[in-house]
Every structure is written in structure tokens, then in C-alpha cells.
């Protein structure tokens, strides 16, 4: 089990750097799964004791995704069409599924290895009244780690990965991103879009970044995960055959937490 099951704790910059030359080699996936199974199925548990950052996170993500979808010719007031199908990977209890993706997509598939978290998501959707008529629906609920999940070929407009890739070692992450690349809807030729907002197809990665002069990956023994540097992410994206079409630092988080960066990726 290599996937992070849900949003990880934000991790303070006081974490000690691994002495190993390859911090990702220290990842123990069984230990990571054991850790997340011990965490409460609520926002406080998902966000490692920082539930107050959830709204800031969601607003930043929504703005990033909307900008991607509008493209260069779009205007902020343009009404965007529904995305047909998206995936929330490492979905946890569905914080991102419910608050970010269901409002903009017709179908959201959920990939999450910890069943108690997806059970909580399904139960919450049953009990909550989703007032908006144009809310999407949860499609498939897949209880697998990302190292074991293969997206349906050409199925997804967006594959969203947030605070989950630290439980994949470098080789697994590259292999996973290559599969995600095959899972994207083929973009429409520019001649067919005429500058209007389109469905689009992107892999989105939103993750903590290590920082400091060493620019090294950092291993966290508590949940057996790695916090990578921006440079490492960029090298792994390139190895997977992906290019960065947009990227932005998340603003508004407490300064003693790791910086968080969003990347939008497409096949090279």
C-alpha cells in the first residue's frame, strides 16, 4: 500500500531530514496505512490538527482550476461548462470531492485505500442535503492505493492529487503519473474551441514542498512519507513525460508550515 490515504498532516519545517541518500527508500507503505487507519475520520484528522486551513486551501484550489479551464482567452465572469468526469486521488473523507470537485464536475470518482474514510464520505453524502441542483455525483469508489490504480484510458478531464504522493517512492510516482497521462481525455484541437472555455484535461498535483538551502527530500517517520523538493517534482514530472502548463504557490497558510505548490500537468 503506497498511497497516502487522505490529506496528510501539514508537517512543520522542523522535521528532520533523512540521513539516507534516497529518502523515498525509507517509505514503509504498511506503516503509512497503519498510521492513517488510526486517524479520526474528520477534517481535523485529515489536516493534521489544522482544520482552519481547509477553507483557504479550497479557495486557492478553486481559483487555480478555474484559471486553467478559462485558458488565455477566458474572462473571470465566463460561465464554465461542467467537466464530464474527474478523479479525486487520496480522497480521504471527501473534503475535496464535496467542496471543490462536485460543484464543477458531473461525475467524481474517488480513489482512497482506507475504507473507513470512503464509508464516511458516502454516509455524509447520504445525510447532507446538496442544495445546488447542478451538483455532480460520486461515481466509482475505489479502495486502492495509487500504486495499484490504473485510470480508465481517456476517461478523465482532471485527475486531482493532493497531499497523497508522499507515500509513493520515486519509481512508483513516475509509473503512476504515466498511467494518469493515459487516463486523460484527449484535448480538443484549438481550431474546434475558437478561444472558448473547454473541458480540458490536466493532472493536478498539490503537495507540500521541502525548503531550505539543502533543497533535499525529507522523510517523516510518523506516517512514513516523503516531502519532496520543487526540483525533485519537476524532474519526476519530466521523467513521466509530462510538462507543467501552470503552477502556483498556495498563499495564506501559517508560515511555520511547509510551503504548498500546485502544478497543472499535461503530456509533453
- 154 to each of 29, 110, 159, how far by Cα in Å? 29, 17, 11
pLDDT surpassing 80 at residue 133:
no
Check residue 48 and give left, alpha or beta (phi > 0: left; psi -120 to 50: alpha). left
pLDDT per residue as tens digits for the range 59-75: 999 999 999 999 876 66
What's the confidence (pLDDT) of residue 189? 63
pLDDT band with cut points at 50, 70 and 90 for residue 6: very low
Higher pLDDT, 216 or 165: 165
Domain 24-71+80-189+196-267 has CATH 3.40.50.620: no
Q: pLDDT, tens digit, for every residue of 195-217?
A: 444 557 999 999 999 986 567 89
pLDDT > 50? residue 12: no
Lowest mean pLDDT among 23-32, 100-109, 145-154, 183-192: 183-192
Q: Count CB neighbours of 5 within 10 A.
A: 31
Q: What is the pLDDT of residues 41-100, one digit of tens each?
A: 999 989 998 999 999 999 999 999 999 999 876 667 778 999 999 999 999 999 999 999
Compute CA distances 236 → 65, 133, 144, 157, whole Å.
22, 40, 22, 22
Give the residue ranges of the annotated binding site.
90, 95, 146-147, 162
Phi, psi of 62 (to 5 degrees): -65, -40
Res 79: pLDDT = 84
C-beta pairs of 31-34 under 8 Å, 24+ apart in sequence: 31/223, 31/224, 32/1, 32/2, 32/4, 32/5, 32/167, 32/223, 32/224, 32/225, 33/1, 33/5, 33/113, 33/114, 33/145
Q: Which residues does the annotation place in the binding site for S-adenosyl-L-methionine?
A: 90, 95, 146-147, 162
Q: What is the mean pLDDT of residues 242-249?
A: 98
Amino acid at each position: 500500500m503506497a498511497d497516502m490515504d487522505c490529506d496528510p498532516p501539514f508537517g512543520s519545517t522542523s522535521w528532520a531530514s533523512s540521513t539516507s541518500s534516497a529518502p523515498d527508500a525509507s517509505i514503509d507503505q504498511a506503516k503509512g496505512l497503519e498510521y492513517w487507519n488510526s486517524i479520526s475520520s474528520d477534517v481535523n484528522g485529515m489536516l493534521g490538527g489544522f482544520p482552519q486551513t481547509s477553507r483557504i486551501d479550497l479557495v486557492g484550489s478553486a481559483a487555480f482550476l478555474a484559471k486553467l479551464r478559462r485558458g488565455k482567452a477566458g474572462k473571470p465572469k465566463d460561465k464554465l461548462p461542467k467537466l464530464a468526469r474527474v478523479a479525486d486521488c487520496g480522497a480521504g473523507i471527501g473534503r475535496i470531492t464535496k467542496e471543490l470537485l462536485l460543484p464543477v464536475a458531473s461525475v467524481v470518482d474517488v480513489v482512497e485505500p482506507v475504507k473507513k474514510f470512503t464509508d464516511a464520505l458516502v454516509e455524509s453524502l447520504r445525510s447532507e442535503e446538496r442544495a445546488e441542483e447542478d451538483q455532480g455525483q460520486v461515481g466509482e469508489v475505489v479502495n486502492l492505493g495509487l500504486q495499484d490504480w490504473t485510470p480508465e484510458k481517456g476517461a478523465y478531464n482532471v485527475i486531482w492529487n493532493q497531499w497523497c504522493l508522499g507515500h509513493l517512492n520515486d519509481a512508483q510516482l513516475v509509473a503512476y503519473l504515466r498511467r494518469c497521462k493515459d487516463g486523460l481525455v484527449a484535448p480538443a484541437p484549438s481550431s474546434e474551441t475558437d478561444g472558448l472555455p473547454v473541458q480540458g484535461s490536466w493532472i493536478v498535483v498539490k503537495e507540500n514542498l521541502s525548503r531550505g538551502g539543502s533543497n533535499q527530500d525529507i522523510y517523516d517517520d510518523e506516517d512514513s512519507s516523503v516531502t519532496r523538493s520543487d526540483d525533485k517534482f519537476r524532474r519526476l514530472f519530466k521523467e513521466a513525460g509530462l510538462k507543467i502548463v501552470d503552477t502556483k504557490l498556495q498563499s495564506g497558510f501559517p508560515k511555520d508550515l511547509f510551503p504548498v505548490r500546485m502544478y497543472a500537468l499535461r503530456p509533453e
